[in-house]
Structures are given as structure tokens and as C-alpha cells.
Amino acid sequence: MKPKTHFLRVAPAVLMGLTMTACGAASSPTASSTNGAQFSGTFIFSGFGGSNEDTLVQVCLDPFAKLHHIKAEAVTNSGLAELELMEKTHKVTWDVTYSSVYSPGAGNWSSLLTPINYSIVNKNILPSQYRSYATKYGMAHDVGADAIVYNKDKIHGSQIPKTWADFYNVKSFPGTRAIGSVDYAGPYYSMQALNTALTGSTNPYPLNFSAAVALLHNDASDMVFYNSSTQAEQLLTSGRVDIADVPTASVVTALLAQKFPLGVNWNQNVVSPEFLEVPKGAPDVPLAMEFIQYCDSTQQQIAYAKLHPNGPVNAAAIAALSPAVAATLPTHYSNIASPIDSNWWTPARVTAATNQLLTVESQ
Amino acid sequence: MTLQSSAANPGLRVMTDYPVERRSGSARRFERTGLLCLPAVIYMLVGFVLPLGIMASYSVTNPSLSLSNYDTLFQESLYRILLWNTVRITALVVIATLLIAYPYAYLMSRLHGMKLAIMALAVLLPFLSSTVVRAFTWLTLLSPNGPIPGMLRTLGLSHPPTLVGNSFSVVVGLAQVCMPFLVFPIYSALTLVSDDYLRAAASMGAGPLVAFRRITLPLTKPGIVVGCLLVAVYAMGGYVTPELLGGQGSVILNQDIVTQIQTVVGFGPASAVGVGLLLLSAVCVLFAAKLVGSRSVFGA
């Protein structure tokens, strides 16, 4: 037998050890986000991470804690599934949760949420176009939007898609496209955009999932599905796609900052609310309602809009924005928008839309 | 120096340099009954069997007590497509990894000292970086403006095929991640193939190819099968690589589990898919045991 280094004899064990270490490292961020005590006198705000959560902490959570002389903490959640697990174990630690723009059905998740007390939370701050964003279980805090974008170096003049009907017509408007996958808002944004393309109306409700999926099938070979805003940016900058349906706050802001030749078409932009909600069994429900009211107040909404490219939902705040700031926000384009109807989306419809779109992605 | 009875032959008394260790009857019983394994058994029960049991119970109780989640798995065309994608991509990953890992392990088995250590480290080192980083590296390399399509254009291919966002990139990414799982079992098997066998084959007129096919390959079969099993199970359970490198046509069952939980808070359907994946892994293990015997797979 040839002499071998001792190292090689233990290599499989090292390999297994490294694998287990990697698994542990991968799971630790999620575990750490839910490690708080059930109620320790600390007001816990659960966001979905990123710059949006940071902004909310800066303009809402920290000043609110100072105002009420309480301790406050922000934890990042991985979605409503985490809340369901908390409720199953009767250890709800969050006072307020912030549902991503990618789950507008969240406002209707009655099994997980406490009804909003509109005697504390003033829903009259909403302008007429966002009135439906005061749902039974969630009050809007801001609005995000998806718009059609394109690489200006490759798409010119009459080749530029101006509507969702153009976007989903590859024959007349050639070029590879990207849209969000089911894990990245696909069930809401893509279904809404597809139905807007089918009906020609910016209010395409009730949505027809089967017809939408049939239209998507026509262009499926030219379609790329992205799972994150970073991936969407990468698809555009690498030249993999020429045209895309992307969230304006993250992708458009990032690409314009990089001086990427990005054309943005706000026509029929799909607008969706981001909700503040109170979990069922939250430690301090009245304080949570006050927090929501505070976040939606005019001053906090103006402060938010100056720091984050999502639009505020407070009518007085929208009116008070400087023209330069206002022009970068979805609220500026609400007259040409196709708003998502939060009240129409239910968990059952989210499931149906998800499975239908996933079937297209899988083939 | 003391006289002791041989364990193998009680009648034989042997001289030893160390005093006889006196063990109590209970200690011997403790060893005999395998109670030393208790911590590991408890760990596995709490950390593995219990969660699996909870998952299985979720699959028939969430949202209500019924088999509706399994009914959905069999009825919806989505799950037939996802199952096919999972099996197809897993098979391709195993084949791709084997085609690269076997020659690599063979070369390793012919080397010694520093050269051998460098080759082994080259396989192990990528394990020290995150799967996410590795997936993004492939994304950069394979994207249309990346170096690999650029190289293809330089070689005269004006429109290189799309290398990312499909099954190809998923297979490439997973094959790299899985490489050590196949290289080391094959290498271990190869080190057990004595050069004497090959010399004997040569003395009887067998060429290198015949010797490889008739001697080396059969003797390394257990290493190949066990390595392929590890790769298959890992590929079936992979999430990050397919999520970042995949696209249309490469969505697998694992990704559906995440979608069901995060997008629609569907613990029941996700658990049913999880049970299905577990059964698929069990089929792979049983198939491997059938090929090379349960001793090679389970070690007993």
C-alpha cells in the first residue's frame, strides 16, 4: 500500500464537519430573529429587513420609543410563516409586524392578525386612490410599485413597450424579458400586469388567472424569472435581459445610481401597499395601534419619503413633498397606476395564483 | 505483569504488562446494552426523528385532518413537473459529478506527498466559502457578458447559448458543490486496490483499459455508489444553488416547499412535499444498498 498523508484519511470527516458547520451558519440568522422573550417590556417591531426596515426604525420606532419612554427593538422576520409558528407555540413576541409589498394578501390573513382599531388609527389620512389600503387587518404605511424598465442601449423608439400589453407581446416588441418569480411577488404583480394586458384596464379585477397564465405561456421562452432585486439588477446589467418588470424602489434606484442606461416607463405601474399589522396575541395591542397611528402621521411620513423611494400614504405628507422628491416616488404616478386591490386578494387566491405561475416557471 | 484470559480463547492465559482492569457487573452490562450510545440516540430522536414526525403530522392535519395535501400532490400537474425536474436535475448532477470526480480521484490515488495534498485541498477549499458566494461566482462566469460566453465568442461562436438561468447552470453549480462527496469515497476505494492486482493482470496480458474495466472499476464500485448516493441526496435537498442559478424549467420540489411556506403560509402542503422528498431519498438509499449491499451503504 502506498504511503498517504494522514490528512487524507480524515478528509471525509472534515468534509462532514464543514457541511454541518455550513448548515448551522445558514440557519443561525433566522433563529436569532425569534429569540426574544415573550414579553419583556420591550416593544418589538418585526420588519422584513433591508433599507425599508432601517428607515422605519429611524423615522418611526426610535422616536416612538423616546416619546413613550419605552425600550424598543426591531427584528427581521422571514414572513408570516414565522408568525404562524409563534402563534402555534403561544409565544407571540412581536407587537407590530410590517408585511412586505410582496404579500398584499397579508392584510387579509385573519387567522394570524388582530383587527385594526380604527378608533385609534386614523384611516382618513389616506388619499382617495389608497382608501382600500385600510383593510380589516392591516393599515398601509407606504406604497411600492413595479414598472416596465428597459436597456436604453438596446431598446429604442417604437421598440419600447409602453403598456403591459406591449410588454407581453414579444413578437411586436422583441427582446428577452424578466419578471419576478413566485417567490418575488409574482402572484401579485405578474398576475395584475398580465390581467392589465388582457383587459387594457388599470383596474382589471376580478383577475383571471387561467387567461393570464395562457398569455404568459405565449412568451415563456423569452421570459426569465428572478428571485431577488439583486438578481433583477444583474440580469439587466449583464445583458441577459433587455426589458424587465421590476420594483422601482430597489432596482430602478440602484441601477440609476450606477449610471446604467435604464429607461423607466411608469405607465400602468402596478402599485401595492405595505402594511403595518398587529399579530393575534401581540403583547401590547393598544400600544401597537398607537405605533401604527404614529408611523402614518404626517411628519413621520414626510421623514420616511425623504429617506426611502417608496411613496407615503398620508395625503398631507404627499402634498408637502418637494417636487424633486415627489417625482421619484410611485405616488407621483398614481393617476396612471394600476393599483393592487388588497381586499380582493385572499389566502386561497394567493395559493391559486402561486401554483399557476409556478407551473409556468417549472416547465 | 499479570496473567489474563484471552477474550478470544478463554482457555488461553496470556502475560500482559498492565494490571487487569476490574469492571463492575453494571459497567459491563452498560457496555453490553449499548447505553453509551444514549446521548447520540437522544440527539437523533430530538433533532431528527421528532421534527420529521411533526412534519409528517402537519402533512395530514394542516389545514384540517385529511389526506387532501397528498391528493393535491397526485392530482396537480405542477407536482408532476416538479418531480420530473427534481429527478432529472439530480440524475444530471450525479452523472456530471461522477464524470469529473472519478478521473480526479484516480489521479489522486496515483500521487503522493505534497501533490496529493494540493489536489485534495483543491477539492476541499471551496467548502470553506459560502454556497451563496459560489452560486454568485457561477452567475458572473456564465452570464452573457461574463468570461465564459466571452471566450465562446472569441472562439467564433457569435451567439453563444444561454448558460445561466436554466437547468445547465443549476447542474454546473450543484456539481461543483457536490464534488468532494464523490471524490473522497472513490479515492478511499481506489487506495484499497492493490497494485499487485494490476501487475498480475498485466502479467496475464491484460492492457490498462481491460485491467481498469475488469479489476479497478468493480473494486471501486462501493465507493462510486456511496458517493453517488451522497451527491443525489444533496442535490435533491439543495435550495440555494437552484434558487440563484436556476430559472424557467429548473424549479425543483425543494423550492416549492419554501414558496408554500413563505408565500402562502401553507405548512400542510409544504410538509406533504417534504415527506415526498424523504421517500424519494429513501428509494435512492435502498437502490444503492441493492447495488452494493447494505454493508457498504449502512456500514453494517
Residue B144 to residue A350, Cβ atoms within 8 A: no
What is the average pLDDT across B165-190? Answer: 94
* Residue A94 to residue A278: CA distance in whole angstroms: 8
What is the average pLDDT across B248-258? Answer: 89
CB A268 within 8 A of CB A196: yes
Residue A362 to residue B249, Cβ atoms within 8 A: yes
According to DSSP, the residues that pair with A75 across neighbouring strands are A46
* Residue A247 to residue A232: CA distance in whole angstroms: 9
Handedness of CA B222, B224, B226, B229 (dihedral sign): negative
CB B66 within 8 A of CB B269: no
* Residue B224 to residue B234: CA distance in whole angstroms: 15
Residue B244 to residue A223, Cβ atoms within 8 A: no
Average pLDDT value for chain B? 87
How far does CA A293 lie from the centroid of its chain?
A: 21
Minimum-distance CB partner of B120 among A8, A350, A363: A8
The verdict on B26 touching A (C-beta cutoff 8 Å) is no
CB A342 within 8 A of CB A141: no
All domains in chain A, ordered by first residue: 41-144+272-341 (3.40.190.10), 145-271+350-362 (3.40.190.10)
Cβ contacts of A274 within 8 Å, gap of 6 or more: A52, A98, A99, A100, A101, A140, A141, A142, A143, A144, A310
Question: By mean pLDDT, which of A100-104, B109-113, B216-220, B235-239 is the weakest?
Answer: A100-104
Contacts of B251 in chain A (CB under 8 A): 358, 361-362
| Residue in A4, A23, A345 to test binding to B, most B beta-carbons within 10 Å | A4
- Give the chain A residue whose CA is nearest to the CA of B140: A238
Contacts of B144 in chain A (CB under 8 A): 238-240
Residue length, chain B? 300
The predicted pLDDT at position B19 comes to 53
ipTM over 0.95: no
Residue B124 to residue A5, Cβ atoms within 8 A: no
* Residue B272 to residue B53: CA distance in whole angstroms: 12
The verdict on A234 touching B (C-beta cutoff 8 Å) is yes
The verdict on A7 touching B (C-beta cutoff 8 Å) is yes
Contacts of B165 in chain A (CB under 8 A): 224, 235, 240
CB A179 within 8 A of CB A247: no
The verdict on A238 touching B (C-beta cutoff 8 Å) is yes
The predicted pLDDT at position A5 comes to 46
Q: Which residues of chain A have pLDDT under 50?
A: 1-5, 7, 9-10, 13-14, 16-39, 101-102, 104
CA-CA-CA-CA torsion for A328, A330, A331, A333, nearest 10 degrees?
90
Which 3 state secondary structure label does DSSP give B231? helix
Residue A354 to residue B145, Cβ atoms within 8 A: no
- Of A84, A88, A99, A91, whose CA–CA distance to A46 is shortest? A99
**Residue A325, all three cell numbers:** 422628491
Question: By mean pLDDT, which of A71-85, B180-194, B214-228 is the weakest?
Answer: A71-85
Residue B243 to residue A2, Cβ atoms within 8 A: no
Residue A7 to residue B120, Cβ atoms within 8 A: yes
Which 3 state secondary structure label does DSSP give A154? coil
| Residue in B198, B265, B271, B273 to test binding to A, most A beta-carbons within 10 Å | B265
Cβ contacts of A324 within 8 Å, gap of 6 or more: none
Contacts of A84 in chain B (CB under 8 A): 265, 267
According to DSSP, the residues that pair with A150 across neighbouring strands are A243, A263
CB A286 within 8 A of CB A43: no
CA-CA-CA-CA torsion for B24, B26, B28, B31, nearest 10 degrees?
-140
Q: Specify the DSSP element, H or E, that contains B83.
A: helix B77-110
Binning pLDDT at 50, 70 and 90, where does residue B23 land? low
Question: Over 80: is that where the pLDDT of B65 sits?
Answer: yes
Question: B147-154 and B131-142 are packed helices; what angle lies between their axes, rounded to 10 degrees?
Answer: 30
- Of B113, B167, B170, B90, whose CA–CA distance to B138 is shortest? B170
The verdict on A187 touching B (C-beta cutoff 8 Å) is yes
The verdict on A225 touching B (C-beta cutoff 8 Å) is yes
The predicted pLDDT at position A81 comes to 80
B contact residues 231-270, partner A, Cβ 8 Å cutoff: 240, 243-244, 247-249, 251, 255-256, 258-267
First to last CA, chain B: 37
Q: How many CB pairs under 8 A join A and B?
A: 125
What is the average pLDDT across B13-39? Answer: 65
B contact residues 132-171, partner A, Cβ 8 Å cutoff: 139, 143-146, 162, 164-165
- Give the chain B residue whose CA is nearest to the CA of A353: B264
Contacts of A137 in chain B (CB under 8 A): none
CB B101 within 8 A of CB B183: yes
The predicted pLDDT at position B222 comes to 93
The predicted pLDDT at position A228 comes to 85
According to DSSP, the residues that pair with A42 across neighbouring strands are A71
pLDDT higher at B4 or B276: B276
Contacts of A224 in chain B (CB under 8 A): 165, 247-248
Minimum-distance CB partner of B251 among A14, A80, A362: A362
pLDDT above 70 as % of chain B: 89
Q: Specify the DSSP element, H or E, that contains B192.
A: none
The verdict on A49 touching B (C-beta cutoff 8 Å) is no
Cis bond before residue A206 (omega within 30° of 0): yes
The predicted pLDDT at position A350 comes to 86
Question: Over 90: is that where the pLDDT of B233 sits?
Answer: yes
Q: How far is A240 from chain B (nearest CA, A)?
A: 6
The predicted pLDDT at position B125 comes to 86
Q: How far is B148 from chain A (nearest CA, A)?
A: 13
Residue A238 to residue B143, Cβ atoms within 8 A: yes
The predicted pLDDT at position A302 comes to 95
CB A291 within 8 A of CB A65: no
* Other Cβ atoms closer than 10 A to B193: 17
Binning pLDDT at 50, 70 and 90, where does residue B24 land? low
The predicted pLDDT at position A102 comes to 45
Residue A7 to residue B181, Cβ atoms within 8 A: no
The predicted pLDDT at position A105 comes to 53
